[in-house]
Structure 1
Amino acid sequence: MPALALAQGGDIPTLSLTLAAGQNQPERVSTLLEILFALTVLSLAPSFVLTVTSFTRIIVVFSFLRQAMGVQQVPPTQILASLAMFMTVVIMYPTGKQINDTALQPYMAEQIGFTEALKKAEIPMREFLFKHTREKDLSVFYTISKMERPKDKAEVPTIMLAAGFMISELKTAFTIGFLIYIPFLILDMVISSILLAMGMMMLPPATIAMPFKLLLFVLVDGWGLIVASLVNSFAT
């Protein structure tokens, strides 16, 4: 059997993949590259949502709220993430509509090319990022990369702008989280003082304070206040 195997032809089959569509059809190659780029963008879409939209601020604030109330698993993380996604769609609607009107629809109608559509789509997105990015946070990345400071907004690379936007969003979210913590912290201190005065030191204050936190949150319409405040924070 080994002799028979060695007696076979020594040619090894090869497999090659190419995007070539022929020398006379360069437009097909361009189309294939555009499809490949579109698939890449779709695979990275979740990362784009997390980095260049309002999702970061919203989900961090929701996490602070859940920690402040002392309920670790209620509402579930999936519910909070879904609510944050719906709020992100509402907040980003003006920017998305502008991208659709100036870039996507003209490209679908073959009025502009793919590269021009990307440039037009980048304009409203950069306006949103600049609006909510602190200059100090943006300068941090210029210091790290040792790049020359830009003279105007047009010279700021989008990748640097997105990084500064993330830092600004985290700072804003932590500030809102601190303000959310204050009333619940005061309630925890009041409950702890009452239990200590009654001599009930063996009873965990967090167990007694949780129903009062929930009652306070419901009475003041906490979800409505937080959602409205988050949405309005992007309108300014």
Structure 2
Amino acid sequence: MSDTPLKNIYLYTRYERFWHWLQATLILILLVTGFEVNGTISLLGFETAVRIHNVTGITWLIAFAFFAFWVFTTGEWKQYIPTTRKMIAVVRYYGYGIFRGESHPVPKRKEAKHNPLQRLTYLSLAALLLPLQMLTGILYWSYNSWAEYGLGGLSLSSVALVHTALAFAILSFFIVHVYMTTTGHTILAHTKAMITGWETVPEDEHVEEWEKKAV
């Protein structure tokens, strides 16, 4: 890694850390039980997997609603405003520069916790992928009431296919996300930051104008 002097800053609040680990746990449970319901694996038994999957899904939906409320009432939504500034530099860094020990082109700051690639990824996840997964899950769960709700024209197999495809997309994100946590100045630096709240960043305090405008 780069020899740039480092310092510690308090970057993640208690609620952010709580939400991060809660969501990670809920997603893992949903993936395991969901794949069992789908017949991909056999671990808990079908009925038990269905029951746990349903309860966990409802818990996730409620927790996600609280997260959305927190994001908009605290102003943290500004952290997710997408930008293309330095996007190519960030992509180049993760694809090439990181293996040569180069410094990250967009270091974390309190004013800008996420780099351009993270902003786009997290926004797509929170505003599109997860809500769609929850919607298809609710539709799947309420199948017996479709006619009552005027949804008789829906295809159960299509809803199930979309729900499963989104599950694989979330699994892919989860794997990449775990890998990315190992790319700090030490292999466990980012994980430790999400436990303690303190992130290690370059000593330079400089924040570019686009970062200020984005938040």
Taking structure 2 as the reference length, what is the TM-score of the superposition? Answer: 0.29
Structure with the higher fraction of residues in strand conformation? 2
Taking structure 1 as the reference length, what is the TM-score of the superposition? Answer: 0.27
Structure with the higher fraction of residues in helix conformation? 1
